[in-house]
Amino acid sequence: MKIMFSRKDNNPRTSSPYQLLYLMSNFEYINFDTLMDSTEVVNTLSGSCHDQVMFELDELSKQGLNPKAKFLIAVDDNGTGGETHSFVYYPEDSDLFWFENAWEDYRGIHEFDTEQEMLDFVIDAFMNRNPGKEIYIADFDPENHIVGEDLQTLVDVCMDNAIQV
């Protein structure tokens, strides 16, 4: 299996989601500072879940897939945001796949029959990590974010389309 760590053109570094997961198994999870782009993530072999999502979306798109991403946040009774998580998923044939690297307990590629089945599973796992909190889910669209933005900006942008689950 050949995996390249740099490129000068628009070709993906990997040719399948499984190769991408293998490449990312060497990535170190780091706490969010400011939003990194794909190149910074692969050059440093590190990133928060939000940073890794930027890289995963880029790579899976270049593999010809149609990946999407979601954002989760746990909010306490006072309306204060707590833990956040972003994740990627993509359809292939008649199935849906959750691609996860940053959340170590669920690292891997998980197959589901429907988007709702996948969302229910991920939301339930996130709720179990955040008992007693209100959970919100939103789209994570990289076109709405600016590399270098801080966490509050990232959260604010995502909360524009969030719904409570």
Could you tell me the two tokens for 93? 């044939």
Is 87 domain-assigned? yes
Is 131 domain-assigned? yes
Is 105 domain-assigned? yes
Is 85 domain-assigned? yes
**What DSSP string describes 29-52?**
E---SBPPPHHHHHHHTEE-HHHH
Report the pLDDT value the prediction gives residue 13, as an integer from 0 to 100.
75
Is 30 domain-assigned? yes
Could you tell me the two tokens for 32? 């969010």
Residue 74's domain comprises 17-164
Report how far residue 4's alpha carbon sits from residue 1's, in angstroms, rounded to the nearest whole number: 10
What total number of domains does the chain contain? Answer: 1
Is 160 domain-assigned? yes
First to last CA, the chain: 41
* Per-residue pLDDT tens digits of the chain, which is 165 residues long: 333 333 344 555 788 999 999 999 999 999 999 999 999 999 999 999 999 999 999 999 999 999 999 999 999 999 999 999 999 999 999 999 999 999 999 999 999 999 999 999 999 999 999 999 999 999 999 999 999 999 999 999 999 999 999
Q: What is the pTM of this model?
A: 0.90
Q: Residue 118 is part of a domain; what is its CATH number?
A: 3.10.620
